[in-house]
Amino acid sequence: MKYLFGFIVGTLFGAALCLAGLYHNPFADARGAAAIAISDQLLGEFSFPAVAAESIAFTNDGESTPAPHPAGIAELWEPAISRTRVLVTVMTERGEPAGIGVKFSSDSEATRLLRSEALVDSAWHVYLPGRGTFFVDQTENLWGYLRDVVIPARWSSADSWRGTWFGIVTAGPNALRTARLVGGSGRFADLDAEAVETWNARAYSTQQGPVAMQGSLMIALPGPPPVGLSQ
């Protein structure tokens, strides 16, 4: 009996050891920043509030945090879309509203926690009146955000987290861990470029989700920027 007891305790200890090693994995952030973050070919940088209550609209399955916004918006409860979130927000450039962005995010089946990957398949549909439209195909890795913000908030006795967390969430699909941007109309028509999304979190609550968080979408050309694209 004592051998069985020792084996069970050892198994639990081994599992805990493995999970602790995974959580504190020093190689998880060692993949480097997306090349676009230091690019000198930036076409624009668009900021948006990543807090549901500060957006035009946000919806999910109605049971997850953050809660859908505004009141009365339809929830995505159907099985095929229950792991999807939609954010409609104002895209701001240099502090001025520049257009509207719709972001679809769905949990990715490629998620592998063993590789420190909590992946989300997302797509941006952006309209900048007077300038044009574009679409961004993106794979996000939220592992760093979950590890540094969400999990500490759940462990906190106050059920919240405060601090400063900045990270590039874009992890693909391009080889250099950038998102693929495709122009739709106007000045962006026929444009093929790259993008990265960054988050700057300052407060998180387990009840409300992000309380103070700003997002940013940077777009850049692989080559020299054409005249007239940047404002």
Q: Where are the beta strands (DSSP E) in 53-159?
A: 57-59, 84-93, 96-107, 119-128, 132-141
Question: Is 127 among the residues that bind other proteins (CB under 8 A)?
Answer: yes
Q: Which of 46, 50, 133, 149 binds other proteins (CB under 8 A)?
A: 133
Q: Containing H/E element for 185? A: strand 179-186
- Is residue 163 within a helix (H) or strand (E), and if so which, with residue range? strand 160-168
Least distance CB 82 / other proteins (angstroms): 7
Distance CA 197, CA 1 (A): 55
Give 95-116 as a DSSP string.
TEEEEEEEEEEEE-TT-BGGGT
Helix (H) or strand (E) holding 11: helix 2-23
Binding mask 140-179 for other proteins (x = CB under 8 A): ---------------------------------x------
Please give the helix or strand (H or E) that residue 179 lies within, else none. strand 179-186
Choosing from 2, 26, 30, 224, the residue that interacts with other proteins (CB under 8 A) is 2
For residues 54 to 93, the per-residue mask of contacts with other proteins, x marking binding by CB under 8 A and - elsewhere, is --xx-x----------xxxxx-x-xxxxxxx-x-x-x---
Using CB under 8 A as the criterion, which residues of the chain lie in contact with other proteins when the complex forms?
A: 2-19, 22, 56-57, 59, 70-74, 76, 78-84, 86, 88, 90, 97-100, 102, 104, 106-109, 111-114, 121, 123, 125, 127, 129-133, 135, 137, 173, 180, 182, 184-187
